[in-house]
Structure 1
Amino acid sequence: MLDALRRFLTEFAGASGQDGFAVDDHRVAAAALLVNLIGADGIADAAEKAALHDVLKAHFGLDDTETAGLVAAARRREADAVDLYAFTSVLKRSLDACGRAEVVEMMWEIVFADGEAHEIEDNIVWRAADLLGVPDRERVELKRRIAASAPRVHAGPEASA
C-alpha cells in the first residue's frame, strides 16, 4: 500500500518512475500515441512493431535498450489513458510547432508500416494532429510524403486530394 502511494506521488510530481521516464516526458507521450495507433485497426503485425521501435529510436536518438524502455513505458501509459488528450496535451506543452509536426510524421510512418492506411488510423492521426495544432494542409502533406516512400501503399482519399 505504501509503495503504491509512493509510486503515485513520484509520478504525480513528474519524477522518473521505474522505467526511467517522467510522466510528462514528451517522448513517452509521442510513443503512447504510436502504440495507440498500432492497435487501432485490431492488427498489430510485426512490421508495425518493428516500425515503432525504429521510428522511436531514430527520432529520439536512443539505443536499443532505451527504446525498449520507452516502448514499455508508452504501453503502460497508453493502457491507463482515456483518450488522446492525455498525450497531446503533454506534447503541445513541450514541443514547438515543428516538434508537433514531427510527431504527426512519426504517426504516418507507423500507419504506412504495414503498407496501407486504414480509415480508423487515418482518423486517429487527424484527431491527434488537430489536438496538436498541426494544420490540415501540413498533415495531408506529411501523409503524402510518407505514403510515397511506403511499400504497397493504399493511401485513401487524401492521397488523391
Structure 2
Amino acid sequence: MFRSLLPRLLGDAPRETTLSHDDAEVAIAALMVRIARADNHYGKNERAHIDALLARRRGLSPADAADRRAAAEMIEAEAPDTVRFTRAIKDRIALEERAWIIETLWEVALSDAVRSPDEDAMIRLVASLLGVSDVESAQLRQQVAQAASGR
C-alpha cells in the first residue's frame, strides 16, 4: 500500500508526484517511530501509544492505526537519515501542523515515563529541521508532561 511512498517522500520520484493525505500521515507516523526508537528501546507500550495517537488524530480503528504504524515502521527503517526525511515532510506539511507533530513526538518520547537524552536530542533536531523553535518545542514538552501527570 505504501511501497512507493519513500521515493515520493525523498524526492526520488518526479517532482509533480505529490504525497497523498494517507502518505503524509504515514510519514508523520514514521517520525513517531523514529523518536520511539531513538533510545534503542521500542517496546509494546510505545507501539500502543503510537497506535492510540494515530487513531485519535484521524479517527482510525485500532486495526487501521496498527496497520498505519506497521507501514511507518517500514518507512522509518528505510529512510536514509532524519535530515533528508524531515526536509521532505517540511516541504509538504504546513507550519501550523508541524507544531502538532512536535507535540506528538513529545507524547511518544514521554509515553514510557522516562526522558531519554537520545529522544530529547532527536526531537530537538526534528523541531529545528521542521522550523519549530526550541522555545515552542519546550512549551509543547511541558504541556505534554503536565497533561500526562494529570491522568
Q: TM-score range by the shorter chain?
A: 0.7 to 0.9
Residues 51 and 90 of structure 1: CA distance in aligned 2, closer, same or farther (over 3 Å): same
Percent identity for Structure 1 against Structure 2: 32
Pairwise CA distance, 1:49: 1.4
Query: Given that residues 26 and 90 in structure 1 are in contact (C-alpha distance below 8 angstroms), is that contact kept between their aligned partners in structure 2?
Result: no
Q: Is the 8 A contact 2:29 2:54 kept in 1?
A: yes
State the alpha-carbon separation in 2 of the partners of residues 65 and 58 from structure 1. Answer: 13
CA RMSD of aligned residues (A): 2.5
Instruction: Look up the equivalent residue of 1:37 and give its one-letter code.
Output: I
Q: Which residue of 2 aligns with 1:119?
A: 117
Unaligned runs of 5+ in 1: 1-6, 16-20, 152-161
Which residue of the partner structure matches residue 135 of structure 1? 133
In structure 2, what residue type is equivalent to 1:81?
A
Aligned partners of 2:87, 2:61: CA distance in 1, in Å?
A: 27
Structure 2 length as normaliser, TM-score? 0.80
State the TM-score, normalizing by the size of structure 1: 0.76
Task: Give the CA deviation at 1:27.
Answer: 0.8
* Higher CA-based Rg: 1
* Match of residue 49, structure 2, among 34, 48, 51: 51
* Aligned-partner Cα distance in 2 for 1:41–1:126: 14
Match of 1:144 in 2: 142
**Secondary structure of 2:111's match?**
helix
2:29–2:69: 8 Å Cα contact kept in structure 1? yes
- Residues 1-161 of structure 1 mapped to structure 2, 5 A cutoff: 12=13, 25-151=23-149
What is the rounded CA distance, in whole Å, between the counterparts of 2:54 and 2:26 in structure 1? 10
Task: Give deviations 1:116-143, integer Å, cap 9, x for gaps.
Answer: 2100000000000000001111101001
Structure showing greater relative contact order (alpha-carbon pairs closer than 8 Å, 6 or more residues apart): 2
Report SS of the residue matched to 1:150.
Answer: helix
Opposite residue 63 of structure 1, the aligned amino acid is S
Q: Across the two proteins, how many residue pairs are aligned to each other?
A: 139
